[in-house]
Amino acid sequence: MALQDYIRSRFFPHIWCVGCGHGTALNALLRAVETLGLDPSDIVMVSGIGCSSRMPGYVDFHTLHTLHGRALAFATGTKMSKPELTVLVPMGDGDALAIGGNHFIHACRRNIDITAIVLNNRIYGMTGGQFSPLSGPGVVATTAPYSTYDPAFDVMRLAVGAGASFAARGSTYHVVELQQLLVKAISHKGFSVIEVLSPCPTHFGRRNQQGDSVEMLEWLKANTAKLGSKAAEENPELITRGIFVEDERPEYCEQYERILEQAREG
Amino acid sequence: MPKRTIADVRINSLWCKRCGICVHFCPREVFVSGEDNLPRVRALDRCTGCRLCEYWCPDLAIEVLIDDE
Amino acid sequence: MTNKTNNKIAFVQGNEVCAEAALYAGAGFYAGYPITPSSEIMEHMARRMPAMGRRFLQMEDEIASLAAIIGASLTGHKVMTATSGPGFSLMQETLGFAIMAEIPCVIVNVQRGGPSTGLPTQAAQGDVYQARWGTHGDHAVIALTASNNQDLFEMTVEAFNMAETYRTPVIVLIDEVIGHLREKLQMPDPDELEVVKRLRTAVPHGVDYHPYLPREDGRLPMSDFGDKHRYNVTGLYHNMWGFPTTDPGVIDGLIHHLIDKIENNLHQITRYKEYYLSDADCVLISYGCSARSALHIVKNRRQRGMKLGLLELQTLWPFPAGLVREKCSGAQHIVVVEMNMGQVVHEVKRAVDHPERVYLANRVDGEFITPTNIKNVLRVIMGRGV
């Protein structure tokens, strides 16, 4: 199927701002789905609330736009009740790790076969630029006019620590790599977390002297490095991209099948 | 490898929000910023069909058409 | 009623009855988080559902539990969760989602004393208004209750039936006494009680399907996630395809639809029982565990020739105001018996003519309201002869 066959083109142009990384992330995700040759009727996309959560409106899958932070809980019910479905969950940083933090760590722990795509723009965009648990210190936001002093979560360490069997970080500058990571994340049997560094020019870039989308992508180019690369070794300040964990571990729905067998045998 | 001919690079002006990413990042400088900041293909013959513009485009507004000969 | 000779008679507690009734009604998916005094429902489901090839899931909290069953309802399952006061509080936002997105699901609230952690192991009926107005915004809701095991079985099956019929969450609002009370249950035969199936769309693949366009009879046929119709589900105001809208006409139509589909079917949704009402000059109105003591005193005083009657409500929401008005029309006194500071009593006062006839007999100390408690109130109202 062509890319156009996976989208609800009547709703374009989309709601996201000029140069928003989320559009590029959607672009990469659609190409990953296309590469995998998935039937849109076999895909459910579940989202919460926020800029990222508008993604389901644009894809021609089964789509469920839920409550702030709760997407993974809804998705767990969907996957557990019909395990043959491919379940994709785009989330924002607040959605995934502030209000939804509890659901996030438990989804990781269960290792249920869902792909969580954390679109990290380090800000609450939809509500107008408040700081998030991924903003980190030294960021100016509408709720941090004197700058933030809150430390940020490291999504990769959190996901791995909580038990996700696949965790990877990409960026919307490194688009080919991002598509490849998404293909791996979706194909992976188990809970996959993929963090996408996704610029928000409107609310983050503007307030933090990072400029427009072009300048923010240049920043990602200059300030990230491949995991295990020489650049990353030489400069620990760089944000690393790549696969942080890729383990084969018992998947939750498959484990339940064993329980069903056990219960049937009495 | 068959020789690839770039038939066209199409820009959907209704979807494009004029962010300028394609103009700035195209490795072959195929685009220029035209009227109303809408990207315009200035040199199709320079395009190698790498599709990076297509992949980067946050608006899903670019389509690179390649003829495989 | 069909021949009952093959029926199993069990001596079980209310929570187990509720779980068995859900299985009878076809619950294919359960998700929950343990909380006293409802945990036995979940424990029973944990044991029974895998053995029946159905799906059971323990979630990380009550928010996730209700979210998970909504996610499972959309793949075509009948679904349930159970909780108690604090957990029910946590579910309110998601309950609103289920109302807005018109997701069939059943939520059991085994009430305990509140507010807050309150009285985890003791009875109360303080969540009647929470069931009605706990989630924000205008909406309608269905809440059913029961006072004994046999009725609880039927009401739980009814809850599933109404959830499917009206595409809405239905609350089974019982209490600690009913949940933990052990008494006889005559297990209905498989076809004895009506079980409403999920209504699925007949629209063929390739033809435009409208998940939010009611049929002429008001019902909205569904399509399972994973089938060929791909549509959107959202908690935002949405059009007949499920896509968000801010069109005032569509918004106005949707809010009216959400309320009308329930309020206009009040007659079909109302369940109640009545005892000695035809000539009663004092009508007791009660529900859940309190109705047991109310019935006891009605029967007891009838033996002494006093004209007491009981209206036992099994549908609490939408409130059957017309029924209450009619049944109370000839009464000198109306006494609402409930274990809270007065909730249903306000609805009764609003429903009847001459609301000065309406009194409250209540108990709120965690102990079960006794016939003596009710008698003491009747004495105050009617004089010492009671």
Question: Which residue of B11, B15, B21, B38 is the best one to mutate when testing the A interface, meaning the one whose CB has the most A CBs within 10 A?
Answer: B21
Task: Round to whole Å and give the CA distance between C304 and C173.
Answer: 34
Interface check B36 vs A, CB under 8 A: no
Q: For residue A12, with 0-12 CB atoms within 10 Å meaning exposed, 13-18 middle and 19 or more buried, which class applies?
A: middle
Whether residue C225 sits in one domain with residue C348: no
- What pLDDT score was predicted for residue A227? 98
Domain edges within chain B:
4-68
Instruction: Evaluate if residue B1 carries a pLDDT over 70.
Output: no
Instruction: Evaluate if residue A154 carries a pLDDT over 70.
Output: yes
Distances (CA, A) of C160 to A144, C21, C31, C270: 48, 9, 16, 15
Whether residue C294 sits in one domain with residue C238: no
Q: What CATH code is carried by the domain that includes residue A27?
A: 3.40.50.970
More confident residue, B11 or C382: B11
Whether residue C283 sits in one domain with residue C202: no
Q: What CATH code is carried by the domain that includes residue C373?
A: 3.40.50.920
Interface check B57 vs A, CB under 8 A: yes
Contact A103 C93 (CB under 8 A): no
Let me know: does C103 contact C167? Beta carbons within 8 Å.
yes
Chains B and A touch (3+ CB pairs under 8 A): yes
Domain final position from C246, C269, C292: C269
Interface check A266 vs C, CB under 8 A: yes
Mean pLDDT, to the nearest integer, of A131-159? 97
Q: Which chains sit next to B, with 3 or more Cβ pairs under 8 A?
A: A
Domain final position from C202, C237, C269: C269
pLDDT band at B11 (very low <50, low <70, confident <90, very high): very high
Whether residue C107 sits in one domain with residue C74: yes
Whether residue C290 sits in one domain with residue C203: no
Structural domain for C54, as ranges? 1-269
pLDDT tens track for A205-258: 999 999 999 999 999 999 999 999 999 999 999 999 999 999 999 999 999 999
Residue in A44, A56, A74 nearest the CB of C70: A74
- What pLDDT score was predicted for residue A121? 98
- What pLDDT score was predicted for residue A78? 98
Whether residue C233 sits in one domain with residue C359: no
The ipTM value here is: 0.98
Mean pLDDT of chain A: 97
Interface check C98 vs A, CB under 8 A: no
List, as one string, the DSSP characters of C344-369: HHHHHHHHSSSGGGEEEEE--SSSPP
- What pLDDT score was predicted for residue C2? 43
Contact B58 A16 (CB under 8 A): yes
Listed as ranges, residues in chain C with pLDDT below 50 are 1-4
Other beta carbons within 10 angstroms of residue C331's beta carbon come to: 23
Whether residue C84 sits in one domain with residue C130: yes
pLDDT band at A2 (very low <50, low <70, confident <90, very high): confident
- What pLDDT score was predicted for residue A266? 77
Whether residue C289 sits in one domain with residue C240: no
Instruction: Evaluate if residue A17 carries a pLDDT over 90.
Output: yes
Domain final position from C269, C298, C314: C269
- What pLDDT score was predicted for residue C37? 98
Interface check A260 vs C, CB under 8 A: yes
Whether residue C300 sits in one domain with residue C247: no
- What pLDDT score was predicted for residue B3? 65
- Provide the number of structural domains found in chain A: 1
Mean pLDDT, to the nearest integer, of B5-15? 94
- What pLDDT score was predicted for residue A3? 87
- Provide the number of structural domains found in chain C: 2
- What pLDDT score was predicted for residue B69? 55
Q: What CATH code is carried by the domain that includes residue C175?
A: 3.40.50.970
- What pLDDT score was predicted for residue C3? 44
Secondary-structure class of domain B4-68 per CATH = alpha beta
Whether residue C291 sits in one domain with residue C341: yes
Whether residue C198 sits in one domain with residue C292: no
Whether residue C96 sits in one domain with residue C12: yes
